[in-house]
Amino acid sequence: MTTGAWIALAAALAVLLVVLVVGLVLYRRRRISLTATEKPSAGAPEIDRSGGYQAGGGFNFSQGPTATAEPPAPPAPSAPPVSAAPPVPPAAPTPAPEAPEEVPETPAPVEETPTEVPLADVAPTDVTPTEVTPTEVTPTEPTAPTTELVEVEPLAPESDRPVLDEIAPTSGRLERLRGRLSRSQSAIGKSVLGLLGGGDLDEDSWEEIEDTLLIADLGTATTTKVVERLRQEMAARSVRSEADARALLREVLVDELKPDLDRSVRALPHDDHPAVLLVVGVNGTGKTTTTGKLARVLVADGRRVVLGAADTFRAAAADQLQTWAERVGAEVVRGKEGADPAAVAFDSVARGIDEGVDVVLIDTAGRLHTKTGLMDELGKVKRVVEKKASVDDVLLVLDATIGQNGLAQARVFSEVVDITGVVLTKLDGTAKGGIVFQVQHELGVPVKLVGLGEGADDLAPFEPGAFVDALLG
Ligand SMILES: Nc1nc2c(ncn2[C@@H]2O[C@H](COP(=O)(O)OP(=O)(O)OP(=O)(O)O)[C@@H](O)[C@H]2O)c(=O)[nH]1
């Protein structure tokens, strides 16, 4: 081979080598880039879409588990169907077919999007929420999801919005509202403290304490534990004054309320989708009112909120939620009467994702826990929502005035939708504040919020210490 031929061969080999090296580098770069995009390093700071928001003193908000049950692609009708045959309206001769768990398309976006509303800057007014008298009407089962029945009520342009009233400070609410617990206070605090502070207790006095706690709805298990511990501690410590007795009773009751439970409301947004909360319960317990009050706290703290009116059985229920939305500065997604509640719930979340809001609160229709068809429907609402995003918190709203019956309700709801928190409403109207102990003891689910009145700011985070202080007066 000539020298020239050797040179040509060497040059060809060099070019081939360069091509191979460049190809390898490009290939590896591409791989690194993909990996980095899909799985950010564990220590990477989370994107804060809240404008630096920190949960205001009082209400404690957290982020729900990050795992999304299913990808946010348009869901396929593959989820299990509703198991029980729904009640049939008189006109229908045969049971309606089970609706496949399909979800409709999200309605076309509208121009106006909600903005942060500076509640602190607006003039206070005396507006009170629209009240809807709870009815005994049992809603009928829905038909299949119907896209055209879902509508979005965005926030009106700023100039057309009603003047928002000033929100009461969110911190220290339970202390401020302690007077509302006066009925429970005389039942638990005054009588038990009176007996304990009286010095040596005979068997009759211990029985009286036990009866008082039972009447205040602490339940047998908690009452027995509390009395046993009081007896031990009274024997071990010197309890000479009413102050000593108060300190002891406080300690025992607070311990029973399990102060270490996580009571944060999972309302902080995820990186790529809003927090989703489902509000459930039987008729008239205060679901809509609680949803409105909670939205008010969230908006006042700088959150953007979508309210989903998944009660499609009564137009008045959606109207009531819409009134709240207007008052607090949130957007509402609602369905016409007869729309599938699961479709409305799904569209609320879709809307929340599209708009990049922080929280979607879904208010569901009241339903009796004994109606299997309606409970199945609630399960379907949750499953359908989870095709879009995981549900972070399922809040069961219980009416404290109904006592033991609330527990029966709670058990059934818990089986169907796996409740993660309880809101105990109407504690202002009952002497049975002890139900808080029982609810937690029986369900193992924390009471997260308490309703202490009909006013817009009469919702407080549940804090065991402050609650027991209020009970003891
Ligand atoms: N006293 C008192 N009343 C409350 C409280 N929470 C709600 N209410 C009242 O209870 C009534 C029923 O409240 P709603 O919010 O409509 O109840 P709901 O569970 O949404 O009712 P349905 O949609 O019919 O199931 C209303 O008059 C509320 O003002 C509370 O904490 N204390």
| Amino acid (one-letter) located at 92 | A
The per-residue pLDDT for range 371-385, each reduced to its tens digit, is 888 889 899 999 999
C-beta of 132 in contact with ligand 1 (< 6 A):
yes
> Which strands, in side-by-side order, build the sheet including 359-364?
150-153, 331-335, 305-310, 359-364, 275-280, 393-399, 421-425, 447-451, 459-461
Residue 165, classed as helix, strand or coil, is: coil
- Supply the residue whose CA is at minimum distance from atom 29 of ligand 1: 454
Residue 309 CA to ligand 1 centre (angstroms): 15
ipTM for the predicted complex comes to 0.99
Distance of CA 420 to the CA centre of its chain: 8
- Give the angle 424-425-430 at the CA atoms, nearest 5°: 100
Task: Say whether both 329 and 238 belong to one domain.
Answer: no
Distances (CA, A) of 44 to 36, 41, 246, 435: 11, 5, 49, 44
Phi, psi of 4 (to 5 degrees): -60, -40
pLDDT value at residue 180: 78
* Count of helix runs (H) and strand runs (E) in the chain: 14, 11
- C-alpha–C-alpha distance, residues 132 and 454, integer Å: 12
Distance of CA 411 to the CA centre of its chain: 17
Query: Within 13 Å and on the Cβ side, how many CA atoms surround 248?
Result: 25
Distances (CA, A) of 419 to 268, 409, 442: 18, 12, 13
- C-alpha–C-alpha distance, residues 258 and 437, integer Å: 9
Please tell me which of 30-44, 142-156, 287-301 the model is most confident about, judged by mean pLDDT. 287-301
What's the CATH number where 325 sits? Answer: 3.40.50.300
Query: Within 13 Å and on the Cβ side, how many CA atoms surround 419?
Result: 28
- Supply the residue whose CA is at minimum distance from atom 14 of ligand 1: 286
Residue at token pair 């990049």: 356
Residue 284 lies in a domain: yes
pTM for this prediction? 0.72
Residue 295 lies in a domain: yes
Average pLDDT over residues 182-202: 77
Task: Say whether both 396 and 273 belong to one domain.
Answer: yes
- C-alpha–C-alpha distance, residues 330 and 288, integer Å: 14
- C-alpha–C-alpha distance, residues 155 and 326, integer Å: 7
The per-residue pLDDT for range 214-232, each reduced to its tens digit, is 988 888 999 999 999 999 9
Parallel, antiparallel, or unpaired for β 359-364 and 305-310? parallel
C-beta of 452 in contact with ligand 1 (< 6 A):
yes
Q: Are 392 and 275 in contact (CB under 8 A)?
A: yes
- C-alpha–C-alpha distance, residues 386 and 392, integer Å: 10
pLDDT value at residue 359: 97
Residue 386 CA to ligand 1 centre (angstroms): 27
Residue 291 CA, closest ligand 1 atom number: 15
C-beta of 154 in contact with ligand 1 (< 6 A):
no
- C-alpha–C-alpha distance, residues 473 and 469, integer Å: 6
Parent domain of 367: 267-419
C-beta of 317 in contact with ligand 1 (< 6 A):
yes
Task: Say whether both 335 and 382 belong to one domain.
Answer: yes
Residue 431 lies in a domain: no
Task: Say whether both 406 and 289 belong to one domain.
Answer: yes
Smallest Cα–Cα separation from 462: which of 444, 447, 440, 441? 447
Q: Are 167 and 122 in contact (CB under 8 A)?
A: no
Task: Say whether both 383 and 407 belong to one domain.
Answer: yes
- Supply the residue whose CA is at minimum distance from atom 13 of ligand 1: 286
The per-residue pLDDT for range 311-367, each reduced to its tens digit, is 888 888 899 999 999 989 999 999 877 789 999 999 999 999 999 999 999 999 888
The per-residue pLDDT for range 362-371, each reduced to its tens digit, is 999 888 887 8
Q: Are 290 and 423 in contact (CB under 8 A)?
A: yes
Q: Are 288 and 363 in contact (CB under 8 A)?
A: yes
C-beta of 288 in contact with ligand 1 (< 6 A):
yes
Q: State which of 137, 285, 289 you would mutate to test the pocket of ligand 1, scoring each by most atoms of that ligand within 8 A of its C-beta.
A: 289
Token pair recorded at residue 136: 């005994």
Residue 380, classed as helix, strand or coil, is: helix
Residue 425 CA, closest ligand 1 atom number: 31
Q: List binding-site positions for GTP.
A: 281-288, 363-367, 425-428
Structural domain ending residue among the three candidates 257, 276, 302 = 257
Task: Say whether both 297 and 194 belong to one domain.
Answer: no
C-beta of 457 in contact with ligand 1 (< 6 A):
no
Q: Are 375 and 367 in contact (CB under 8 A)?
A: yes
Residue 429 CA, closest ligand 1 atom number: 1
C-beta of 355 in contact with ligand 1 (< 6 A):
no
- C-alpha–C-alpha distance, residues 332 and 348, integer Å: 8
Q: Where are the alpha helices (DSSP H) in 117-259?
A: 173-176, 182-184, 191-196, 203-215, 220-236, 242-256
- C-alpha–C-alpha distance, residues 107 and 147, integer Å: 8
Q: Domain total for the chain?
A: 2
pLDDT value at residue 23: 56
Residue 144 CA to ligand 1 centre (angstroms): 29
Residue 86 CA to ligand 1 centre (angstroms): 27
Residue 334 lies in a domain: yes
What's the CATH number where 238 sits? Answer: 1.20.120.140
Residue 459 CA, closest ligand 1 atom number: 31
C-beta of 426 in contact with ligand 1 (< 6 A):
yes
Residue 429 CA to ligand 1 centre (angstroms): 12
Residue 358 lies in a domain: yes
Q: Which residue has the higher pLDDT, 148 or 370?
A: 370
